[in-house]
Amino acid sequence: MAQTKYIFVTGGVTSSLGKGIIAASLAKLLQSRGYKTTIQKLDPYINVDPGTLNPYEHGECYVTDDGAETDLDLGHYERFLNVRTSQANNVTTGRIYQSVIEKERRGEFLGKTVQVVPHITNEIKERVQVLGNSGEYDIVITEIGGTVGDIESLPYIEAVRQLLWELGDNNAIVIHLTLVPYLSAAGELKTKPTQHSVKTLMESGIKADILVCRTEHEISNDIREKLALFCNVKREAVIQSIDASTIYDVPLLMQEEGLDTVTLQKLALPNTVEPDLGRWNEFLARHKNPKDEVTIGLVGKYVELQDSYKSILEAFIHAGAANEVKVKVKSVHSEYITADNYKNKLKGLDAILVAPGFGERGIEGKVKAVEYARVMNIPFLGICLGMQMAVIEYARNVLKLDKANSTEMDENTPDPVISIMEEQKTITDKGGTMRLGAWDCDLKDGSLVKEMYNGASQISERHRHRYEFNNAYLEQLESAGLLATGFNKETNLVEIVELKDHPWFIGVQYHPEYKSTVANPHPLFVGLVKAALDHKKA
């Protein structure tokens, strides 16, 4: 296409309405019609990236191939579109201000007074158009975090207003996602919150082109007419987004409502190709009609908030569909696992996944969970910290190095089987300073992990950690039966460990969950679910 088209997704009334899912669903529909589509997220908080945010506050931190620590919505974008994202797909206010201040320090503004308008808004407009100017995409969807009227969102809304004017008619549109609440006392849906939200948007100089109304009840034709009239949009541009049983239903619901059709019309794009959603529908059919069920324990320390392990939970959905199995994930808080109760807490599980994390809270519970999986021959996958716990457990209980530990938990441990990387020792800043992004890993012949990856000799997976397997203990651990079966050639660091005398026991230093998508479920999750089913049947 000659010119990239832009779609801005704003939200009103309340947060957590699902802007990311709506954006990803629309992108899926446009992609299935042959348009090259990508999505980016503008986050209004002042953190430079979400890497330093508490998972309880913001959910998981998602990592891209190029090592960007980003918002978890980018995970939805990749899972839906099966297209890799990058640093350009997530922009925060912190990054915007950091860039503008650095330019001012270098003297790029020639002594001008640096202000929100035009300097901050110009920086936002530049970032919005980075993907569009790359020539790779026909359509760029930009999701703006927070809700309209938030103080921190104002520069973004102003930048969008300017872009709509600069790009001209039919080149950029605004989709406004809002809530139509149901008041049980009155027994009816209320449109006033949506009207106020649209009015707030208009006060900033932006007219919504399409309204997507989140609701728990069907919206009647009368209400659609009322919203169209009072919110100044066309009747066909009032789209209902009703609660769905799974987020993977949303693209189909949006197609039924005609969101993609009205979008193409507003952007003056051809609407001649019907969406090809064959593979998507196959996945949904397998997901919704499982032939069996397994229960997998997710042992972690942030289990109270589901979003803390969002990518893991979604990877289980993809792997479950691939195996035609319903995966019931049982969350087990590692902080409350003790030597007295661990058997009771973990009994009845068909497989165990020990989750990633940072810090020493709850790690002894994770060690106990690994021991239970190893001794009881239960299929086990350890991710990042989970893999490190597997190494510590083996060193303590098999090599009899009772005080073996990671230097992250105990700097004075006599047996640091997990230790900080040399180049990390001098780093004091916390943000964006870990081993991040995609790294290659060579797989050993004859290993279980090589079999899981369909015989591949080399894989590329995403990392997010500071501490590593200590090679000084490699020989000891291998001779005792814990095999290192994946190495990074560049650093000679161990990436994967597995047990030879166990049905299915793998620990990986990387995060496989980040690369699992609807179209390509991750082989380790597919393998773990299959092993769980075999274990259940046996």
pLDDT in tens, 160-192: 999 999 999 999 999 999 999 988 888 889 999
- At 324, give phi and psi (nearest 5°): 55, 45
* DSSP letters spanning 334-347: GGG--TTTHHHHHT
Q: For residue 434, give the 3-state DSSP assignment.
A: coil
Tokens 């290192």 sit on residue: 484
Q: How confident is the model at residue 103 (pLDDT cuts 50, 70, 90)?
A: very high
Return the higher-pLDDT residue of 48 and 459.
459
- On whether 86 is known to bind a ligand per the annotation, the reply is no
149 in Cβ contact with 14 (< 8 Å): no
Q: Quick check: 138 pLDDT over 90?
A: yes
How far is it, in rounded angstroms, from Cα 391 to Cα 388? 5
Q: Quick check: 57 pLDDT over 80?
A: no
Q: Quick check: 435 pLDDT over 80?
A: no
Look at residue 427 in the predicted model and tell me its pLDDT: 57
130 CA to centre of own chain: 22
How far is it, in rounded angstroms, from Cα 383 to Cα 355? 6
Walk me through the domains of the chain, giving residue ranges and CATH numbers.
Answer: 5-281 (3.40.50.300), 290-537 (3.40.50.880)
Q: Quick check: 409 pLDDT over 90?
A: no
Cβ burial 307-324 (10 Å sphere, 16+ → b, else e): ebbbbbbbbbbbbbbbbe
> Among 68-72, 350-354, 385-389, 391-395, where is mean pLDDT lowest?
68-72
End-to-end, the C-alpha distance of the chain in Å comes to 56
Average pLDDT, the chain: 90
Look at residue 117 in the predicted model and tell me its pLDDT: 92
Mean predicted confidence (pLDDT) in 435-439: 84
Q: Quick check: 1 pLDDT over 70?
A: no
- On whether 266 is known to bind a ligand per the annotation, the reply is no
6 CA to centre of own chain: 23
Q: How confident is the model at residue 97 (pLDDT cuts 50, 70, 90)?
A: very high
Mean predicted confidence (pLDDT) in 219-225: 93
How far is it, in rounded angstroms, from Cα 65 to Cα 80? 17
- Strands of the sheet containing 505-508, edge to edge, are 325-333, 292-300, 351-354, 380-383, 505-508, 493-499, 482-488, 435-443, 458-465
Q: How confident is the model at residue 284 (pLDDT cuts 50, 70, 90)?
A: very high
Q: How far is CA 409 from CA 321, 369, 417, in A?
A: 38, 18, 12
- On whether 151 is known to bind a ligand per the annotation, the reply is yes
Structure tokens at 508: 């990986």
Q: Active-site positions?
A: 384, 511, 513
User: Percent of the chain at pLDDT above 90?
Assistant: 67
How far is it, in rounded angstroms, from Cα 486 to Cα 482? 12
Return the higher-pLDDT residue of 302 and 421.
302
- On whether 152 is known to bind a ligand per the annotation, the reply is yes
- On whether 466 is known to bind a ligand per the annotation, the reply is yes
* DSSP letters spanning 298-334: EEES-TTSGGGGHHHHHHHHHHHHHHTEEEEEEEEEG
415 CA to centre of own chain: 35
Q: Torsion angle, CA of 300/305/307/313, rounded to 10 degrees?
A: 50
Instruction: Give 485-512 pLDDT, tens digit per residue.
Output: 999 988 888 999 999 889 999 999 999 9
Q: How far is CA 89 from CA 26, 64, 131, 375, in A?
A: 16, 10, 8, 44
Instruction: Give 366-404 pLDDT, tens digit per residue.
Output: 999 999 999 999 999 999 999 999 999 999 999 999 898
Mean predicted confidence (pLDDT) in 104-131: 92
Q: Quick check: 307 pLDDT over 80?
A: no
509 in Cβ contact with 469 (< 8 Å): yes
